[in-house]
Amino acid sequence: MFEKAHSKDYYNRRKSALELERSSFMPHWRELSEFVRPRRGRFFISDRNRGIKKHQSIINSKATKALQIATAGMLAGTISPSRPWFLLETYDQDLMKIGEVQDWLYQSELILRTILNESNFYGMASQSLNEVLLFGTSLMTHIDDFEDVARFYNHTTGSYSIGLNDRFEVDTVFREFDWTAGQMAKAFGIENLSTTARNAIDKGNYDAWFPVCHIIEPNESFYPKSPKASNKPFKSVYYEPSTQGADKDKWLRVSGFDEFPAYAFRWDVTGEDIYGTDCPGMTALGDIKGLQIEEKRKAQAIDLMVRPLLTGPATLKNSPIQSLPGGLTLYDGDDQRQQLRPIYQIQPNLQELRLDMEAVERRIDEAFFVDMFMAISSMEGIQPRNQMDLIHRNEERLLQLGPVLERLHGEFLDKVIDRLFNQALKADILPPIPAALAAQPLRINYVSSLAMAQRAVATQSIDRVAAFAAGLLSAGFEQVREKVDAENALDEYSKAVGAPPSILVAADVLAERRAEQAQQVQEQQAMEQMQQGAQIAQTAAGAKTDERNLLTDVMNG
């Protein structure tokens, strides 16, 4: 059914259409690669394994270093492998107060973080963040892996094309690349290779290169009840594009995915554009190119000062001129007219040039948010400043990344965790789901340092209310104790800062403990009342009955 519905001609036509939409971005990407990271980006299939020097356009490496700092800052601030950066929650907040639900969510988070730590996720994520900072768009694929549950691959800019659905979400990825005959045989099986590739294997030429195309797109043949991989919501097709004859309709592999396994993170998007724009690399490109020119001019000016252009008599035409220190040049000349001297004297104002270059470098740092990621160490003025001042100034800079973080969460991290959670369910490595969570949807709460900075206002407001309430109590307003719900404030503060749920007692467990304590108090009070009654009875029994008193009066009526 699949082979009849689609052909290689269909996919080749779609490849051409996607590449046409991408074509206007290619010159810009090449320029960004040339002046910042020449080894990133692959704009021709034949670019593989090219060890030639590619840094000829970079004289001042400020932009490259700024990109490195921004990449490290983004990684540490959003998905740091050294600390938790996401929590699983339920939409029903009452369920979050149940102890077994909290424990299950916490244990599931630990399992997902362990999978990410043991896979290659963070290495690939660093490359994706680097590419989105420089090119505005990055692409990562996420597949099943027998050893690590999940495996991730970053695809550099220029090596792929993407397409959007009616909701302007990326739902199609097309890649064209070269693989060796040995790689193809191991990945797809020798029987699925073209005749040319099989002949290379038969001759032992495992390192012969062949073009391979791979497309992931929505599956028109999606059938929920079908066990076939080719009937899943998204289909994945590998094929050799240049095959003819009997191999024309031969596929390397046809499979499918339950979730879209490719994540295209875009820095910013204009209207119906497919690819990202206005990233730090694009913003700073003019300054980056201008800085190279200024660096070159400064070096030329210094070189002309040290080694000026000389003029001298014609008698020196065939005479060697010694320009090294201590060198001797002999010639017959007139001391007044025929001297070996500079054609002109150059005295450039290098200080002004350096000041202008420093201003350009500061603009590059600002474009890459270097001043934000290194706010404390690079802050001007007398150190140390007041700690609260440092916190507030740092948060103001972090808020600049608010829109970018929303795209990062929606286009990248949400999908990674959703697919990873489903992979863990299929692998049966999650703990048994509590009955209270049956059919309950989950949501993701990000608690990375950058995400927490966006919610810093919540903790600040709690701090201010608590401080104000404490001030009123110290002034003698005791009714404040009845007004402030300290337990609820503690829960909200813990949630805002992303603290582990294990540090606070769950609401249902706390209610049980308090009920037990109340019952113990009641039992203690009943015991004391019984003891008091027994003492009264003993006293009454020991009273003299032959003397008139209250007891004898009662007994005698």
In-domain check, residue 178 = yes
Our CA dihedral for 360, 364, 366, 370, rounded to 10 degrees, sits at: -130
* H or E element, residue 88: strand 86-90
In-domain check, residue 361 = no
**Residue ranges, the chain, pLDDT below 50:** 1-5, 376-379, 381-388, 390, 545, 551, 555
Domain boundary (223, 252, 281) is at 281
Question: 3-state class of 87 per DSSP?
Answer: strand
pLDDT at 44: 81
pLDDT at 397: 64
In-domain check, residue 479 = no
Number of domains in the chain: 2
Both tokens of 48, joined, read 């593989």
Our CA dihedral for 474, 476, 481, 484, rounded to 10 degrees, sits at: -60
Tell me, what DSSP letter sits at residue 411?
Answer: I
pLDDT at 208: 93
Residues 103-135: tens digit of each pLDDT: 899 999 999 999 999 999 999 999 999 999 999
In-domain check, residue 542 = yes
In-domain check, residue 25 = yes
In-domain check, residue 362 = no
**Contact 79/125 with Cβ under 8 angstroms?**
yes
Pick left, alpha or beta for residue 240 (phi over 0 → left; psi -120 to 50 → alpha; otherwise beta): beta
Q: Is the dihedral of CA 368, 369, 374, 376 positive or negative?
A: positive
Residue range of the domain that includes 547: 507-555
pLDDT at 378: 47
pLDDT at 523: 79
Domain boundary (224, 247, 281) is at 281
Amino acid letter for position 469 = A
Q: Chain-centre distance of CA 536, in angstroms?
A: 76
What DSSP line would sit under 41-105, residue for residue?
---SGGGTT--S---TT-SS-HHHHHHHHHHHHHHHHHS-TTS--EEEEES-TTGGGSHHHHHHH
Q: 0.85 cut: is pTM over it?
A: no
- Residue 235: which of 217, 262, 259, 258 has the closest Cα? 217
Question: 3-state class of 162 per DSSP?
Answer: strand
**Contact 181/200 with Cβ under 8 angstroms?**
yes
In-domain check, residue 209 = yes
Q: What phi and psi values does residue 53 have, to the nearest 5 degrees?
A: -65, 135
pLDDT at 384: 43
In-domain check, residue 475 = no
Domain boundary (233, 266, 281) is at 281
